[in-house]
């Protein structure tokens, strides 16, 4: 199969769809890889690194799209990329379609087969291709939140860890999944007072068994969320409904009751955000202040640590890319329900139930695609 890797063009997005090591694996199995020139510079890899791994270097995204049967990316395709997709071409990347009707419309119009990293599952119900970026984003959330608490950044002027004789900051993490537990680990490591809130009792029990009294756990109710958000210095939104829009756990009406200069970090912004007042920001302008509360809502947080993120992502995606390349998309997905869960758009139709519901678009049952 001919596989294309264009340079990412989203604001301050330095990741790339594959490392040279990934290219080498594909080339060794007889596949042809095209990569746009300079696509790897953000992770410190030159065109020569990719050329030596077996890739052909092309001078534009248009050339990469034109030559390739499958496009492998990191972030959702921007409008100009959707315009150069063609019917029957495979797109394998993060899509996050639920809060993005325009992208969904463009993908449906393209006729491409769009498979989303974030809705592929495994036999334990996990999201194996979302997990590596969730780990990165969870750890980064504490890093950026600590900076946003600084007075010069608009925060209350609080050191997350405190010092002897001065209490540490209170960090509240909404959601006990991959993002949440990684955020909690980082915050605890810095010495903060950390509470994690989730509505799964088994998950809370698992977290308690791992971390004991160092990490407070609370069952999620409206009251427990409000009480803890109101007293927090840093709130990290880490909730996820796979493929669907994130629930709004912190409302606009709650902001005046929060501590002035406290910080909201919305890691769920790719899925529409879990704070009512969230709007997507960029690495260039990552924060804004509303009702005295600092909001950090960067939609591609792991792009700031592009090298770590790209290597972690390739480790996770490469087996799936190889399967698509070796078998073709129909054979790769037909008998694997977990991989098939990644199918979001095919033949101009939406095939992911959560996306169809969020966008109020008629669902095409994915099983019918293979009949």
- Does 49 appear as a known binding residue? no
C-alpha to C-alpha distance for 173 and 296, rounded to whole angstroms: 14
Catalytic pick from 96, 193, 233, 266? 96
- Does 269 appear as a known binding residue? yes
- Does 279 appear as a known binding residue? yes
- Does 267 appear as a known binding residue? yes
Residue 270 designated active-site? yes
What is the DSSP annotation of 124-143? TS--TTTHHHHHHHHHHHHH
- Does 240 appear as a known binding residue? yes
- Does 51 appear as a known binding residue? no
The CA-based angle 155-157-160, given to 5 degrees, is 95
Q: Tokens for 199, please give them.
A: 């509505």
- Does 284 appear as a known binding residue? no
- Does 268 appear as a known binding residue? yes
C-alpha to C-alpha distance for 15 and 214, rounded to whole angstroms: 35
Catalytic pick from 31, 193, 270, 295? 270
- Does 75 appear as a known binding residue? yes
- Does 301 appear as a known binding residue? yes
The CA-based angle 196-94-307, given to 5 degrees, is 80
CA atoms within a 13 Å half-sphere pointing along the CA-CB vector of 65: 19
- First CA to last CA across the chain, in angstroms? 24
Instruction: Decide if 249 contacts 237 (C-beta within 8 A).
Output: yes
- Does 340 appear as a known binding residue? no
Q: Tokens for 371, please give them.
A: 């009949």
E strand or H helix that includes residue 222: helix 222-231
Q: Any idea what DSSP says for residue 344?
A: E
- Does 15 appear as a known binding residue? yes
Catalytic residues: 96, 270
Binding site residue list: 15, 75, 134, 198, 203, 239-240, 267-270, 279, 298-301
Binding site residue list for NAD(+): 134, 198, 203, 239-240, 267-270, 279, 298-301
Binding site residue list for substrate: 15, 75
């Amino acid at each position: 199969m001919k596989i294309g890797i264009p340079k990412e063009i989203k604001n301050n997005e330095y990741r790339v769809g594959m490392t040279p090591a990934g290219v080498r694996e594909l080339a060794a199995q007889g596949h042809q890889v095209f990569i746009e020139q300079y696509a790897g510079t953000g992770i410190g890899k030159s065109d020569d690194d990719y050329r030596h791994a077996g890739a052909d270097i092309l001078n534009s995204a248009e050339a990469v799209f034109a030559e390739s049967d499958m496009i492998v990316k990191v972030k959702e395709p921007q409008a100009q990329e959707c315009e150069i997709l063609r019917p029957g071409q495979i797109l394998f990347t993060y899509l996050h379609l639920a809060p993005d009707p325009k992208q969904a419309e463009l993908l449906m119009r393209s006729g491409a087969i769009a498979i989303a990293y974030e809705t592929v599952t495994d036999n334990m119900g996990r999201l194996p291709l979302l997990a590596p970026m969730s780990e990165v984003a969870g750890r980064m959330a504490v890093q950026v939140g600590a900076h946003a608490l600084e007075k010069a950044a608009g925060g209350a002027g609080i050191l997350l860890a405190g010092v002897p004789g001065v209490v540490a900051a209170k960090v509240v993490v909404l959601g006990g999944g991959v993002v949440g537990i990684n955020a909690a680990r980082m915050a605890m490591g810095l010495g903060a007072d950390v509470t994690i809130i989730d509505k799964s009792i088994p998950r809370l029990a698992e977290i308690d068994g791992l971390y004991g009294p160092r990490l407070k756990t609370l069952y999620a109710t409206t009251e427990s969320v409000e009480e803890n958000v109101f007293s927090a210095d840093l709130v990290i939104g880490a909730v996820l409904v796979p493929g669907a829009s994130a629930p709004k756990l912190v409302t606009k009406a709650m902001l005046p009751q929060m501590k002035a200069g406290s910080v909201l970090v919305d890691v769920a912004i790719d899925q529409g955000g879990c704070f009512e007042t969230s709007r997507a920001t960029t690495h260039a302008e990552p924060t804004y202040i509303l009702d005295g509360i600092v909001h950090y809502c960067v939609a591609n947080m792991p792009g700031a640590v592009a090298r770590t993120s790209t290597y972690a992502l390739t480790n996770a995606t490469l087996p799936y890319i190889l399967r698509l390349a070796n078998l073709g998309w129909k054979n790769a997905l037909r008998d694997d329900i977990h991989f098939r869960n990644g199918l979001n758009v095919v033949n101009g139709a939406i095939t992911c139930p959560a996306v169809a519901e969020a966008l109020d678009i008629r669902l095409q049952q994915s099983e019918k695609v293979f009949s």
